[in-house]
Every structure is written in structure tokens, then in C-alpha cells.
Structure 1
Amino acid sequence: MKMHVPLSLALMGAVSSAMCQAADTSWVDAAVASVNPQVIDLRHTIHQNPELGNMEVKTSALVAKHLKSLGLDVRTGVGKTGVVGVLKGGKPGPVVALRADMDALPVKEMTGLPFASKAQGVRMGKTVPVMHACGHDTHTAMLLGAARVLSEHRDQVAGTVVFLFQPAEEGAADVDDFDTHSVIGAKAMIRDGALDSPKVEAVFGVHVMAGQPTGHLYYKPGAALNSADDFRITVTGVQTHGSAPWSGADPIVASEKIIDGLQTLVSRRIDLTKGMGVISVGTINGGTATNIIPETVSLSGTIRTNSPEIRDTILTKMPNLVEGIASAYETKAKLELVQFAPVTVNNVALTEAMVPALELAAPGKVERLTSSLSPSEDFSLYAEKVPGLFVFLGATPEGEDMSKVANNHSPYFQVDDATLATGVKAHVQFVLNYPGKAAGKS
């Protein structure tokens, strides 16, 4: 499996040169401070008006209007509701991309914030509450702030900046989770040329994290986030009376053994020296009465790993295991696998080269993670195409008990507005300190 593209030889040679030829960024803090009120206002507006994946019509219109007002070249309808803005700097240099996601979650907000969401949306024909419970409102607002800072100081920008505002990172409201034919999110953006016109050579992203202190940045070279793949298994037997199980074929018992067997893929089939893997079954549905053995049972779950090799092993061996166990109990099993996101792999050379940029964005508040984090992100798909760096931004005021803070995806999830300025600075410093410019690329 393709993992990530190594930095070009020219760029690798530029890393050490960039360390001693750092850009003059003394103006950045003041520039960010001047746009920060607008960034906070944008964040509140977006938060109060969330939209589900592939439904970000108002959000993308807001984004496009803002980018056009800054004089950027703007493309809409990318990846369905995505927006791409292109800023040409005042100096020759490389093309780098900055990415933010725009979609919200089907969650009812319980924060009590004055700008809390009361919105509803339609997900697969069902009306659901909608909330920015993962901070995508902050990602969009921070990237819009960075676009304004960079556009107002484009004479300081070497090269071209591509701003990627992506839909459906959390999945699409108009696409079944197990529809293997639809292309959504980052994959749809890539399909529609988001990295090709102009040709991007590196991509950066920032994600807010509850339970980490405001204004702190966290990074990790190599594997930073898990892969994510979902599965659904339909086990079909022969319905019969519960008093005479021998006269049928029991899909409930077969499903139980399949669930047990799935765990052996982790405990017995993967090389745990390569990393970790977990298979979790989240739903089991079957039966209508206590005295009827049903014809079918459906179960679904998720697969997460921090190793591309482990992911390949699980996905390759899972079909035979499921079908074999089902057959042993004289039932049949239909397995549906949806590959959502690979492991998010930060390019090691790029990551190390950008640590000084992180320090400029958050002096004394930058930490290197010792292990990958358990969530997943389809930013990983961009990082398969070009060198990528995905970092994490603390979102909780330092005085709070971090162990008791509502996590991302909770109806009580909150982001401290005071952290937004650091996120804007990180995006700006990525552009100004990207080492490719030292190689004289254009």
C-alpha cells in the first residue's frame, strides 16, 4: 500500500538551509491580532449554523465570499461542496496547501453557549440535530483568518498558497456509510483536482483537541492518527422455533463466534511489534421474539490501526475468517468493508523542518507526542499524495481540569476562542517557513 511520498531531494537539501535562512516573521503576531476579532466572529457564525457533510451550502458560500473579497482565485463545487482558494505570493517559490474541514456532526448541542447550535439537518432521509462537535467551525475560521493575513501581506509570501476547505470529513449526510461506490470528503477533493491546479508539493492541517491546554501545539513525525475502516456483516441462517434449534441454522450463535474470531485477527494474526490494531463491534441486530431463531443477524463495527502493514493484514484476512466461521455453523455471511482513511502519516523530514515554525506560532508551548493518537482523519489521503504535516491545537483553558473536559464529538464539547489566534499563526508560519522556498522552487 502506498503510504506517503518522500520529500524531493531538492527539498531535503533545503531543510538545513532553511534553518539558517528563516523568513522574517516579526510582523505575524500583530497581523494575526488585527484579524482575530473577525476570526472569532466567523467561528461563532459558523458554529451557530452547522451543516452536515456534503450539505455545507451556506458554509461554503460564506467561505467563497470571504476568499473572493481578499482577491483570491476561487473554485467552488470541489468535491461537491468544497471550496479552493489560490493566493499567489509576491515572490517566486513553491506551492503549498492549507486544509480545513467544514462539516458538522448529527449531535444535539448541550453546551449552553450563547452561540450554540439549534440547527437540524437531514441525514439519509432522517431529520437530526446538528452541532460542530469536533471543531470544524474553528478550523474553517482559522484558515479564513490565515487567508486574510497572507493576502494582506502577499509581498512577504514566497510562492503560492492553496486553501482547501473540505466537506464531509465526518462522512456524507446523503451517502450511506456502506456505499462503496460514492467518493466523498478528501478523496472527492483530490478527484476534482484540489492538489493539481496548481500542483501542490506539501500540505498542512491543524485540528483542535479538547482536554489539551489553549494555545499549545502538538506534533508527531510518522504515524500520527489511526486508520479507519468500517465493516458490516449480515449472517443468514434458517429460521426455526426456539425449542428446536436443530431444525434450523442459528445466525445468532454464528454471529457470536464471528465476533470472537475477529478479536483473534488482532491477538494472533498481526505483528504487534509493528504497532496496534483494534476491531470493535458497535451494533448487533437480529430477532423478533424470544422463541424464534431468526433468519438473519446484522452486525457492524470499526477497525483502527496505526500501522499500514497491520491495516493491510486485517483487511486481507477478515473476509476468509468471517466466511469460514459462518460456514462452520451452516450459515452464510456477507461482509461489507468500507475503507475510509489510511493511517495519517506525517512526513518525517517535513515535520522536523517545520518545528521552528510551530515554535514561532506557540513559543514555549510546542510538544512532541511520543505515540500516535487513536482518532482518524481523511487528511491522510492528501498526505498519501504529497508530503503532509497534521498537528493538534489545545482547545481548553489552562485552568480547567483536563481529565474532566468533554471530548471531541461530545454534545458538551467546547473550544476556547483564545486558542484561535495560535491556529491562525500556525497556518501562516507553515507558509512562511516551508523549506522548499530555500531550494528556489517556483
Structure 2
Amino acid sequence: MAAPSAAKVEAAAKAVQPKVVAWRRDIHENPELGNQEVRTAALIAKELKALGIEVREGVGKTGVVGVLKGGKPGKVVALRADMDALPVEEKTGLPFASKVKATWEGRTVPVMHACGHDTHVAMLLGAATVLAGMKQDIQGTVVFIFQPAEEGPPAGEEGGAKLMIRDGALDNPKVDAVFGVHIGPGDPHELNYRPEGFYASSDRITITVKGRQTHGARPWAGIDMASVAADIIQATNQIAARQVDVGVSPSVLTIATINMGFRQNIIPEDLKMEGTMRTFSKERREDLIARMQKSVTAIGDRYGAKAEVAFTQPYPVTYNDPALSKWVKGTLEKASPGKVDDNAALVTGAEDFSMYAEKVPGVFIQLGGRKADVPRETVPVNHSPYFDVDEAVFETGVKAHAFMALDYLAKK
């Protein structure tokens, strides 16, 4: 039994493109935060069932797994998309822009698909449509993984790839290899990746400080939390820029939130700061954790406060299997001829796709989605309130998914 021809895949991808655009716009206008993707999951399950694909719902809380068994026995390949949006206020001005608000960690926040997960879901539904239409010609099984909470579950909750794996997303049937595609601000239709380490590992940083409250006019009678916060930020930036060799292994320490106080004339008792750490090696990660703990504790001691730092929600480095990375280049060339780069730069972003790739061989790929009329220098990047993509690249994403699945199952 021969695998479906490239021409047949291309024609099917072109035919489903209007649906992919419609799915994306619908999901974009109705975004949901991590572990809250109820509407999105229902849409996915409905579309997969309509294609005759076996569906498991409620995997990893709100995740959906679809299983498409081909007409001939063979290996099992998985394709993964993430579903969650971010607490970002959309400023794109799109006719289908989000106006949604939701609750996140006790606060009411605006919600936006600022990282392209709406497009990931739409493209994987498109690939499922293409592959379901070729079911009898598929030599094996395709598993479609639609995952919640890639950006991390709310504090105190479990979620994301870790919970999907625990709930059996890679089992029944047992997956042999996994592929993922992530859209970004790169040149349109470009597919890029690199073997071995690609995306950084990440940890959520939470710093808590207990001081002594006082009147804003009498700072000497308490502990000045603003000064504590400033010193911690300066020390954190100094660690990342001056204490470790960034030429040996890149690393990033970012403090992104500072929460303290309620009035302009009260210095508060409590301070909470949060941020993120990105590294590419276990040794660098352990070194930065030790340096941060020593520095934060010492600053607290200097002011007479109790300061602590915790590192949670760890994501490992996204590691692309070397043999699979070498093999997949030819397959990707069919999806986007002349626009495949297999030596992409390291990415300091992180992805919990890495957890699937720890269990089975995997390759994670970036798809360029920059609109042609937007200069490279000013293109809004992922997590920007202005993030948007060229919808024409969805066809390339659908083909990449479909070709990777078909070619993997057909290869000897």
C-alpha cells in the first residue's frame, strides 16, 4: 500500500484552508486561559468526531486526544497542539479580536491568544481533516494531542503536558514519535528547527518578602519594601549579566511582576515578585538557583526582612531527537520548498512539548507567520498585545503536520 501522494496532500490542505481560517478566528475571538479551555475542547471534540476519529475528552483536565487508525497496521505517530490563551489585553484591532475577560489566580484579567495557540489548534484540526480523508491509505495510527495549559496552570494547580502524559496521552496506543509546530514572527512559510537542544528550560520564580509596615512619612520605623524590591531586581539582573558566562550557555533571569501595598502613604509588610528563569543545561540551572537563593536571602537580611525565593513549574529543555531531526528535513521541504532551516538559533522561550520529547523521540518546529507588509525589525512577537499572523501560512502548517505523520508511518 503506497502512502498518499504529495499532490493529494497539497490539494487536501488547500481545500481545508477556509475551514482552518474560520476555526482560528472563532477560537481567537473566544480565548480561554490554562485549565479553563472548556469551549475550545468541545469544539475540537465535535470536529474530530465528525471526521470519524476516536475521541478521548477530559485528558489532563480539559485536553482532547484523537486517534485515527489507518487502513493498514503500523507505527504510531503523535501530533500536538496547545489550546490555552494568555492574560493579555488585545490591541490588534482585528474584526475578530478578543474582548474576553476571565479570572486568573484570583484576579479578573483580559484574555488573548497572544502566542498563536489558536492557530495551532486550527492547523491541527486541518491536518486531522486531511488525514481522515486518507484513512485507508495510512500505514499505522495518528494520535492528535490537543493540550491545555502550555503556558503553565494557575498557581497551586497541575496541568499541561505533564498531566496529559500522566493521563495517558502517549499510551493506548503507545506513541513511537511526536511532532509539534509553533507559529511565530519569522518569515512567512519558513519552517525552522535545530537538532538537540532548541527551546530553553524554564522555571517560575516567586520571591516573597516579609517586612515591617510603617507610615510612608516614617520609613526608618519599618522596612522599605520598594528599596528591597529594587535591590533584588538589580541583583537578579547582575547575576544573569555579570556572574555567569553567557557564551558557554545562554541564560535569562527576568522579574516581571511586583506586588506590594495599597496606599501611597503606607509602606507595606508584604512584597511578592514573580518572574522566569531560562537555561539550556542542568548545571547552569542549578547554579542560577543557588545564586538567586543566596542573593535574595542576603538582601532580606540586610534590611532586616525575611526574603525567600521559590522555583516552580519547571519545563525541561526542548530536545529534538538528532536522528529524527536529520530525517524530517526532506519531509518539511515538501511542505515549504526552499524554506526549511535545520540550524535555527537557540530559542530562550520554553515549551512543555519538551516533556513529550523526554518520553518518546520528538521534533519541535517553528513556522514563520510574519505578515509580508510588516518589517522584520518591528514585527510584534509572541506574547505581545499586537501579535498577529499571516493566515496564508496555515496551509503550510497543515501540510507540515500531515507530511510528518504520513512519512514517518511510511518510512522503513
TM-score (norm: length of structure 1): 0.85
Note if contact 2:197-2:317 (Cα within 8 Å) is conserved in structure 1. yes
Deviation of the 1:414 alpha carbon: 1.5
Q: Partners in 2 of 1:307 and 1:380 — Cα distance?
A: 14
Measured at CA, do residues 118 and 233 of structure 1 come closer, stay the same or move farther in structure 2, by a change above 3 Å?
Answer: closer
Q: CA deviation at 1:268?
A: 6.1
Tell me by how many angstroms 1:324 deviates.
3.7
Paired residue type of 1:214: P
- Matched with 2:147 is 166
| Preserved contact between residue 193 and residue 344 of structure 2 (Cα < 8 Å) | no
Query: Equivalences for 1:342-353 in 2 at 5 Å?
Result: 342-353=316-327
The structure-2 alpha-carbon separation of the partners of 1:126 and 1:364, relative to structure 1 and needing over 3 Å to count, comes to same
> Tell me, what secondary structure is at the counterpart of 1:309?
helix
**Matching residue of 2:168:** 193
Residues 82, 149 of structure 2: 8 Å contact kept:
yes
Question: What displacement does 1:252 show?
Answer: 4.8
Unaligned runs of 5+ in 2: none
Measured in 1, the distance between the counterparts of 2:83 and 2:219 equals 51
1:40-51 to structure 2, matched below 5 A, reads 40-51=21-32
User: Which region of structure 1 is more displaced relative to structure 2, 347-356 or 254-263?
Assistant: 254-263
Cα pair 2:252 2:348 within 8 Å, conserved = no
Structure 2 Cα separation of the partners of residues 45 and 254 of structure 1: 45
Q: Name the aligned partner's letter for residue 204 of structure 1.
A: F
Compared with structure 1, are the counterparts of its residues 418 and 321 closer, same or farther at alpha carbon in structure 2 (3 Å cutoff)? same
Q: What amino acid is the match of 2:391? A: D
TM-score, structure 2 normalization: 0.90
Out of 159, 166, 179, the position equivalent to 1:204 is 179
Q: Does the CA contact (< 8 Å) of 1:274 and 1:310 recur in 2?
A: no
Select 2:126's aligned residue among 139, 145, 156.
145
In structure 2, how many angstroms separate the alpha carbons of the residues matched to 1:127 and 1:256? Answer: 27
> Structure 1 residues 293, 120: CA separation in 2 closer, same or farther (over 3 Å shift)?
closer
SS in 1 for 2:146: strand
Q: Kindly indicate whether the alpha-carbon contact (under 8 Å) linking 1:142 and 1:420 is maintained by their aligned counterparts in 2.
A: yes
Query: Which whole-Å CA distance do the structure 2 matches of 1:129 and 1:251 have between them?
Result: 28
Summarize deviations over 1:276-326 as a string: whole Å, max 9, x none: 112122233445678766433332222112333312322344334432443
Q: Percent identity?
A: 52
**Is the contact made by 2:3 and 2:139 (CA closer than 8 Å) also made in structure 1?**
no
> CA offset at residue 275 of structure 1?
1.1
Residues 353, 261 of structure 1: CA spacing in aligned structure 2 closer, same or farther, 3 A cutoff?
same
Shift of 1:114: 2.7
Q: By how many angstroms is 1:85 displaced?
A: 0.3
- Please state how far the C-alpha of 1:391 moved relative to its aligned partner: 0.7
Does residue 363 (structure 1) correspond to residue 337 (structure 2)? The answer is yes
Higher mean C-alpha deviation, range 308-317 or range 32-41: 308-317
Q: Is the 1:223–1:307 Cα contact (8 Å) retained in structure 2? A: no
Letter of the aligned partner of 2:177 in structure 1? A
Q: 1:155 to 1:309 in 2, by over 3 A?
A: farther
Q: Give the drift of 1:88.
A: 1.0
**Aligned-partner Cα distance in 2 for 1:240–1:128:** 31
Which structure 2 residues correspond to residues 54-73 of structure 1 after superposition, within 5 A? 54-73=35-54
- More off after superposition, 238-247 vs 44-53: 238-247
Q: Which moved more, 1:315-324 or 1:408-417?
A: 315-324
Contact 1:308 1:343 (C-alpha < 8 Å) held by counterparts: no
Match of 1:97 among 64, 78, 99: 78
The aligned amino acid for 1:52 is: L
Q: Which residue of 2 aligns with 1:184?
A: 159
Mapped partners of 1:255, 1:127: distance in 2: 25
Using the TM superposition, give the Cα deviation of residue 256 of structure 1 relative to its aligned residue in structure 2, in angstroms: 4.1
Match of 1:18 in 2: none
Distance 1:388 1:273, change over 3 A: same
Contact 1:345 1:383 in 2 (8 A): yes
Give yes or no for contact 2:180–2:364 (8 Å, CA) kept in 1: yes
**C-alpha separation between the residues in 2 aligned to 1:293 and 1:112?**
40
Conserved 8 A contact 1:49-1:117: yes
CA deviations 1:408-429 (Å, max 9, x no partner) are 2222221211111100000011
1:262 and 2:236 are equivalent in the alignment: yes
CA distance in 2, matches of 1:47, 1:249: 45
Aligned length: 411
Aligned equivalent of 1:226: 200
Kept after mapping to 2: 8 A contact 1:67/1:85: yes
Contact 1:306–1:372 under 8 Å retained in 2: no
- 2:368 partner letter: G
Tell me the CA shift for residue 109 of structure 1: 2.5
Residue of structure 1 in register with 2:386 after alignment: 412
